Every structure is written in structure tokens, then in C-alpha cells.
């Protein structure tokens, strides 16, 4: 078992006193995509912030490649930032409209000191091709692309450093059905071809069922159940999971 990221009894309390996460534990194993599901207020955004190393748990640990993640350890954080990249929900606000697609996709290469010049340009071309965009997309601007294509640009930016984990926060909820399917297929394909492990945060169980092998159900900051997606969503043990399932009429899990 090759665990890349792990939360061990991780809790997070906001300054105002809200306990947003309460002793959450789960592991992200290489090649085993994880879906994090729960209603609004379940703690998903707080969890994302811990998984991206943007904040530290107020109790418990985040482990990266089996070592406790320390936001003060600059060498570890540098490796971590290259290894765990993210795609956000809204491809309209997450891409700077004044920058060309080439510059947007190259940004992690610059900021993480991975590559520059011709090497960076080659990596950008490779990332654009991997997400199904033509190489000449680099010279164009975000407004020239549809929502689905913009999300491909965001994915190209996320994979350009060859990360191990792609954390996708509701990556298809702003898209229409056809685009959704295409982006989910792309994420699945990238998982297979690039050894990328996807962690998908979503309130939509059909998206998680289509992509993720492991599912973690969150409620009120606690994990109410987790396990193989087919088991958790196919025959949920918890009433809460059943309620979430009931709100999704056509789920592709028997
Ligand atoms: P989700 O993303 O699943 O909607 P959040 O992580 O945003 O859940 O929120 C979990 C809990 O933490 C909620 O009760 C929310 O009100 C609270 N919370 C979120 N952000 C803050 C904050 N900045 N300050 C205080 N409480 C917060």
C-alpha cells in the first residue's frame, strides 16, 4: 500500500469556536481515487484547505508520504506543492482573463521553480495536449474558450508539474451534462495514463460514483462512513448516506 496523503484524527476549530472537522481520518493511496462527499457545511472546504497545506489542523495530523506535514518545513512544502495540485469549481473565476492560456498553464512551473524557457514551453504543450486542447491554445485567452475547455485549461495547469495527487473541488458542477461527462472521462484517463490519483470533493454522488474507488462521507465535520465506493453508495449503512443518495435520482451504481 502506497499512501501519499493521510489525515490522522485531524480536527479543525475556527477562531470563532466552530469545530469544522472532528477527528477525521482517511488515506489517499496511489492509484485509488477518493471521493469526499457531504452537504453544505459538512466541512469539505475546510478539509480541502488541510489537504492543500493551506492551513494546519488544530489537532491531529496531515501526513504527506508518511511524514507529518509541517507548513514551516520549506523543503517539504516545496515537494508537497509540486505533488498535490488542485482544480477549482469555477473555470471562469479561476483563470486570469488578462493572461494567455500558455502563461496560465506555465504558472506553477515558474512559481515552483520547476522549469523555464524552452523546457517550460515544451511542458505546457505536453499538458495542453494531454487535456485534449490544441497546442495553439497557448497563445489564446480564456474568454475564447467554453466552460468545459476552460476547465481543461485549469486541469492542464494542475498537471503541468506532474503531480501525484489532483485535488478537484466540485470540478464539474458549473458545467452542462455533456461537458461533465467529458471532464470526468478526462480525469479518469489522466489517472490511468499519468499515475495521477484524483481526490474529488463533491456534493454530487453520481460524479463520485463515476470516478472514485473510495468514498468518504462527511457530516457535521465527522466521517460517518467510508470504504469502497460500490459498497458505500451501493448499500450504505448510514441513514445520512441514504438521504444523500435519495437526492440523486439516476445514480450509476446498483
Ligand atoms: P462545506 O465546504 O462542506 O460547505 P465548510 O468547511 O465550509 O463546509 O464549513 C464547515 C463548518 O465550518 C460550517 O459550520 C461553517 O459554518 C464553518 N466555517 C467555515 N468557514 C469558517 C470561518 N472562516 N470561520 C468560522 N466558521 C467557519
Domain assignment present for residue 162? The answer is yes
The tens digit of pLDDT for each residue in 169-201 reads 998 988 888 899 999 999 999 999 998 999 999
Task: Return the best residue to mutate from 7, 12, 37, 45 for the ligand 1 pocket (most ligand atoms within 8 A of CB).
Answer: 45
pLDDT band at 19 (very low <50, low <70, confident <90, very high): very high
User: What φ, ψ does residue 84 adopt, rounded to 5°?
Assistant: -125, 110
Domain assignment present for residue 89? The answer is yes
Cα–Cα distances (Å) from 204 to 137, 164, 201, 236, 250, in that order, read 31, 24, 9, 16, 11
- pTM of the shown model: 0.93
Quote the number of domains for the chain: 1
CB contact set of 231 (below 8 Å; sequence gap of 6+): none
Whole-number pLDDT of residue 254: 41
Give the CATH number of the domain where residue 232 resides.
3.40.50.300
Strand runs labelled E in the chain: 3-13, 19-29, 34-37, 59-64, 67-68, 84-87, 165-169, 197-202, 214-219, 222-228
203-222: average pLDDT: 93
Domain assignment present for residue 111? The answer is yes
Q: How is the beta sheet containing 34-37 ordered, strand by strand? A: 84-87, 165-169, 197-202, 34-37, 214-219, 222-228
Share of residues in the chain with pLDDT > 70 (%): 97
Domain assignment present for residue 225? The answer is yes
Domain assignment present for residue 178? The answer is yes
Q: What is the number of the ligand 1 atom nearest to the C-alpha of 16?
A: 25
Q: Which domain holds residue 98?
A: 3-246
The tens digit of pLDDT for each residue in 137-165 reads 999 999 999 999 999 999 999 999 999 99
Within 6 A (CB) of ligand 1 lie: 14, 16, 18, 20, 38, 40-46
Q: Is 13's pLDDT higher than 60?
A: yes
Domain assignment present for residue 253? The answer is no
Q: Is 248's pLDDT higher than 80?
A: no
Please state, as a whole number, how many other Cβ atoms lie within 10 Å of the Cβ of residue 65. Answer: 15
Q: Which residues partner with 223 through β-bridges?
A: 218
Ligand 1 midpoint to CA 208 (Å): 22
Share of residues in the chain with pLDDT > 90 (%): 81
Alpha carbon distance 92, 250 (integer Å) = 28
Domain assignment present for residue 177? The answer is yes
Cell numbers 454530487: residue: 204
Amino acid at each position: 500500500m502506497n499512501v501519499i496523503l493521510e489525515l490522522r484524527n485531524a480536527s479543525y476549530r475556527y477562531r470563532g469556536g466552530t469545530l469544522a472537522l472532528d477527528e477525521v481520518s482517511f488515506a489517499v493511496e496511489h492509484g485509488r481515487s477518493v471521493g469526499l462527499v457531504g452537504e453544505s457545511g459538512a466541512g469539505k472546504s475546510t478539509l480541502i484547505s488541510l489537504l492543500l497545506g493551506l492551513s494546519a489542523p488544530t489537532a491531529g495530523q496531515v501526513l504527506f508520504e508518511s511524514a507529518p506535514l509541517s507548513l514551516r518545513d520549506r523543503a517539504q512544502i516545496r515537494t508537497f506543492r509540486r505533488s498535490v495540485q488542485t482544480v477549482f469549481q469555477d473555470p471562469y473565476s479561476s483563470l486570469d482573463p488578462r493572461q494567455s492560456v500558455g502563461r496560465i498553464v506555465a504558472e506553477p512551473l515558474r512559481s515552483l521553480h520547476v522549469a523555464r524557457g524552452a523546457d517550460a514551453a515544451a511542458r505546457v504543450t505536453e499538458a495542453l495536449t494531454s487535456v485534449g486542447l490544441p497546442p495553439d491554445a497557448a497563445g489564446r485567452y480564456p474568454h475564447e474558450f467554453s466552460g468545459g475547455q476552460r476547465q481543461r485549461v485549469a486541469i492542464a495547469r494542475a498537471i503541468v508539474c506532474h503531480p501525484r495527487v489532483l485535488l478537484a473541488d466540485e470540478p464539474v458542477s458549473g458545467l452542462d451534462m455533456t461537458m461533465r461527462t467529458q471532464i470526468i472521462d478526462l480525469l479518469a484517463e489522466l489517472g490511468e495514463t499519468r499515475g495521477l490519483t484524483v481526490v474529488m470533493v463533491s456534493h454530487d454522488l453520481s460524479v463520485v460514483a463515476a470516478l472514485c474507488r473510495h468514498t468518504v462521507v462527511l457530516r457535521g465535520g465527522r466521517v460517518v462512513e467510508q470504504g469502497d465506493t460500490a459498497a458505500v453508495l451501493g448499500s450504505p449503512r448510514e441513514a445520512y448516506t441514504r438521504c444523500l443518495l435519495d437526492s440523486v435520482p439516476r445514480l450509476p451504481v446498483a
